[in-house]
Structure 1
Amino acid sequence: MDKATLRDTVWDELESSGEARFPFPPHGRIPNFADARAAADALAETSEWADADTIKANPDAPQLPARRRALREGKTVYMAVPRLRDERCFYELDPARIDDDALDSAPTVSHVESHAEQVGPDELPRIDLVISGSVVVSEQGARIGKGEGFSDLEYAVLQGLDAVDDGTTVATTVHELQVRDDLPEPDSHDVPMDFVVTPERTVRTATPYPRPPGLDWSALSAERIAEMPVLERLRDERDAE
């Protein structure tokens, strides 16, 4: 089954089963699901979570419980500015600079700008844990997103900035309906998952799939590079070598 068909199948199943949660419909997005908080709590039981001081997380609704828990545990959370459009292309949510009564609202899409500091490439620390949103995943760590490619691109940017490497843990939280065994082989730019966490179980994938080697410049149009200052910077650094 190809990626597009798998996405549609999972979106349909989440909707028809009643397991999808706001925002509706689940189609065309990283779908929110029942008991997403339980999946976040299960992720937080891992040693990799406990050891992480810095977390880069996607901004979508099903991973909001993980972002909230991270802040409440004193971890610094980074979220990408939409489409990496600004020179300071990441939001830094430092719980030491956020009032306790704002810790739940701070990592939401609608409030992050009010509580975060935007940081540029030179201000980004090493990331200990990456949390990704998914539409479909396998127990072997293959992942399919919503089809726009930004999650994998953000990871490649972090690679280019030496903020992540092959030893950085990458995890996703999903509903059981999103875990399937009929995914196609990942493309060369697809980032495999080390953990697939559902409300019912935690899968350490021991993924056989390699991490991407970095930015695939041949797949990036001049227009997309021009839209993202961080890509222009990394391109210029590459050309200067």
Structure 2
Amino acid sequence: MADSHQRMLDANQLAARHEHRERIWREMLRVCRPDSRFHWDFSSFIADFEGSEQSALRVRQLEAYQACGRLFITPDNATEHLRRHAILDGKTVVMTTYAITRGFLVLEPGTVPAGEERYAATLDGMDTFATPTTLAELSTGEPIGLLATGGSAVATNGVRFGKGHGYFDLEWALMSETGVAGPDAQIVDLVHDCQVVEDDLAGLDHDAPVDWIVTPTRTLRTTPAHRRRPGRVFWDLLAGSALETTPPVVELRALKGM
């Protein structure tokens, strides 16, 4: 009965997320920029938005950003300005390829020639200058202290959801389980003001909890209702999905002897 109730609860939560996502996607048409390949298909990419440069500058003011030498930034259009600033600030930038298809990339300080930082911050630029890496290799370096992502919507209690594929939740879980991300690593979500849900939302067990919401006009510390630490992989949710065969998931299975 408990399992049945949990499944129903999750179904209701997912339905509520879908409603918020669809409503916000309609609002985003006013403030977001189309993707060169996916155009206005928000189910395929996390859009850049008016004022995203200001959001990136606000992230740079966070103590967690200033203190970390290595950070993870998602391959979202909304986080491109932050990737450029991280390169200019001499940070080590860790990123996944789109949809985690080819796993992780790492861009070390000093790798990008002067004047190429703007291009290096794009996904094509990261493929040009960054190096493919594994969870095992990443786990030997400084633990990641900050994870930055975009999103479709985020509530003020730290519940975030993206396109609906679960990429960031899995990335956080993979890095948590292997020690790539430290137990006290903070998560920041860069969104437009119209993407902030002022009401509390119910979180799912596998959700990556957001510590900071940064918009062009606000820096919000979320309420502590949903800060489960550390992340872990929910293998039953991956069964049969395309994510099950991505290189980091295959690697983690091998590391665990599964």
* TM-score under structure 2 length normalisation: 0.85
Partner residue, 1:191: 208
| Residues 229-240 of structure 1 mapped to structure 2, 5 A cutoff | 229-239=247-257
- Given the alignment, which residue of 135, 148, 161 partners 1:121? 135
Q: Residues of 2 paired with 1:227 and 1:96: CA distance? A: 33
Q: Residues of 1 paired with 2:214 and 2:241: CA distance? A: 36
Indicate whether 1:106 and 2:120 are aligned.
yes
Q: Secondary structure at the match of 2:64?
A: helix
Query: Which string of whole-angstrom CA distances, capped at 9 and with x for unpartnered residues, describes residues 104-141 of structure 1?
Result: 11121122111111112222131121001111011111
Partner residue, 2:42: 27
Q: Is the contact between residue 238 and residue 244 of structure 2 (CA under 8 Å) also seen in structure 1?
A: no
Once the two structures are TM-superposed, the CA of residue 223 in structure 1 deviates from its matched residue by 5.7
Aligned residues: 236
Q: Is the contact between residue 176 and residue 183 of structure 2 (CA under 8 Å) also seen in structure 1?
A: no
Q: Residues of 1 paired with 2:243 and 2:75: CA distance? A: 22
- Given the alignment, which residue of 52, 73, 92 partners 2:106? 92
Query: Which string of whole-angstrom CA distances, capped at 9 and with x for unpartnered residues, describes residues 191-218 of structure 1?
Result: 1111000111100114321326411112
Indicate whether 1:217 and 2:219 are aligned.
no
Partner residue, 2:12: none
Partner residue, 1:12: 26
* TM-score under structure 1 length normalisation: 0.90
Q: Residues of 2 paired with 1:213 and 1:110: CA distance? A: 29
Indicate how the Cα distance of structure 1 residues 227 and 97 shifts in structure 2: closer, same or farther if over 3 A, else same: same
Once the two structures are TM-superposed, the CA of residue 233 in structure 1 deviates from its matched residue by 2.8
Indicate whether 1:46 and 2:90 are aligned.
no
Q: Secondary structure at the match of 2:120?
A: coil
| Residues 48-87 of structure 1 mapped to structure 2, 5 A cutoff | 48-86=64-102
Identity %: 26
Q: Residues of 2 paired with 1:5 and 1:32: CA distance? A: 21
Q: Residues of 2 paired with 1:160 and 1:142: CA distance? A: 21
Indicate whether 1:134 and 2:151 are aligned.
yes
**Gapped runs of 5+ residues in structure 1?**
none
Q: Residues of 2 paired with 1:90 and 1:133: CA distance? A: 17
Q: Residues of 2 paired with 1:232 and 1:61: CA distance? A: 27
Q: Secondary structure at the match of 2:123?
A: coil
Q: Residues of 1 paired with 2:136 and 2:164: CA distance? A: 29
Moved more, 168-177 or 227-236: 227-236
